[in-house]
Structures are given as structure tokens and as C-alpha cells.
Amino acid sequence: AQKITQTQPGMFVQEKEAVTLDCTYDTSDQSYGLFWYKQPSSGEMIFLIYQGSYDEQNATEGRYSLNFQKARKSANLVISASQLGDSAMYFCAMRDLANAGGTSYGKLTFGQGTILTVHP
Amino acid sequence: DAGVTQSPTHLIKTRGQQVTLRCSPKSGHDTVSWYQQALGQGPQFIFQYYEEEERQRGNFPDRFSGHQFPNYSSELNVNALLLGDSALYLCASSLSQGFYEQYFGPGTRLTVT
């Protein structure tokens, strides 16, 4: 069974500074995907960044980067130059990359989340 | 390009009643997944539909059932509602081939009294 652990219930950062949100995972699968989602108070899950288990380079998307350390089973999210609008709940998630009949499927397993608060 | 839409936005039901939640996937997506998110928790996978069939199911009782229509939209039905079913229900759509991202809708907030 897959498991995602986010050990930081809450994090605070000053505007314009960088912040790292921790995520560790556990799986026996060789092929999997790691995701980070942002959930504002409105409730909608917003996709931020994706890392495949076989990707050798760390993923980057604008101000977001994923620090992927496969041997340590960690996939930390780094947000550079924090903005007030970054204040939200952040979830790390894993998806097993099952395949059948030429199609892919697989549920997302989420961590408990980290509430990020950006101070002006 | 319309994203994932869900209806209704909010719903209040009484214990023992039945509820139906609806989801329209992002244009071009053929796979729909449903998640339950209790307050302060991460979402929990309920089930996934592809080609009008349930393809994968999480650890939820049979009171939770679903359906996918030929236009890929989907419904989540919950029978015999319990107080513990109060949660945000999120629908996510994805492509069965290619990139593995799931796009989420705004959710339906269900309150059971």
C-alpha cells in the first residue's frame, strides 16, 4: 500500500522568501508519479507540479520546484519568492502508474497536508 | 476550455437520506475519479470510472456507488447517509492515455444533519 507523510502541519514564511514543504512516501511500486496540489480556502485542488519516478531531473514549474530524492523517498516542494497568494493548504500525492489495455489509471493517495501562511 | 464542473456546490441532507452528486469532466477527458475530503484531512479515493465502468475502488462501503455516462460525465450516489459522510466531495478528470495529471473540480460540500 502507498503512503504519503507530510510532517509539517503548518509553515510560515515571509513574503519574497523561499520555503520548503516536506513530503516522504512509501511504496513498493517501481513506477509511480508524485504530485503537489494547492488547495485555497475555496476548496478547489490546483495542480502545481509532477515528478515521475524515472525522471532523472527534478521537476520545475515557474516558482515551484520539486526536490526529488528517490533513495530517501522524499519529494519536497520548494516555493521561491513567496507571494501572499501562496497562502493555502498544500498536499503531496502519489499515483501508481497502473496500465491496462493501453490505458493508464491509478488513484491518487494524498498526505495530510501542510498549511502555508505567507506574511507581508 | 471548460474545466471540471460539479453540482451542486452545497447540499444539506438528513441522516438516512440519499444524495446524488454530479460531475462534468474537463473537455477531452475520459476518466473520472471521486474523492472524499473530511475537514482538515487529505482527500480519500472513492472510485474511478472509465468507459462507463468502475475501474478501481477505494475502501468505501457499498452505500457509495457511481455511474459514468456516454458523454463521460459522472454521478456519485450515497445511500443511507451517516453523519460521518459530511465532507467535501471532489471530482477529478484525466486522460486514460498520456500524462497522468488529474484535474479537480471545485467540489460539493455535503452536510449531513
pLDDT value, residue A107: 85
- Map residue B74 onto helix, strand or coil: strand
- Sign for the CA dihedral angle at A62, B88, B47, B84 comes to positive
- B24 vs B43: CA distance, rounded Å: 19
pLDDT value, residue A100: 59
Q: Cβ atoms within 10 A of the Cβ of A40, count?
A: 13
Q: Which of A55, A19, A56, A52 is nearest to A38 (CA)?
A: A19
User: What is the pLDDT confidence band of residue B101, given thresholds at 50, 70 and 90?
Assistant: confident
Question: Which residues 6+ apart lie within 8 Å of A12 measured at CB?
Answer: A116, A117, A118, A119
In the chain, the amino acid numbered B60 is: F
For chain A, which ranges sit under pLDDT 70?
98-104
Preferred mutation among B29, B51, B68, B100 to probe A, highest tally of A CBs within 10 A: B100
User: What is the pLDDT confidence band of residue B2, given thresholds at 50, 70 and 90?
Assistant: confident
Q: Cβ atoms within 10 A of the Cβ of B104, count?
A: 25
pLDDT value, residue B41: 94
Judge whether A47 is closer than 8 Å to chain B, CB to CB.
yes
Closest-CA residue of A relative to B38 is: A112
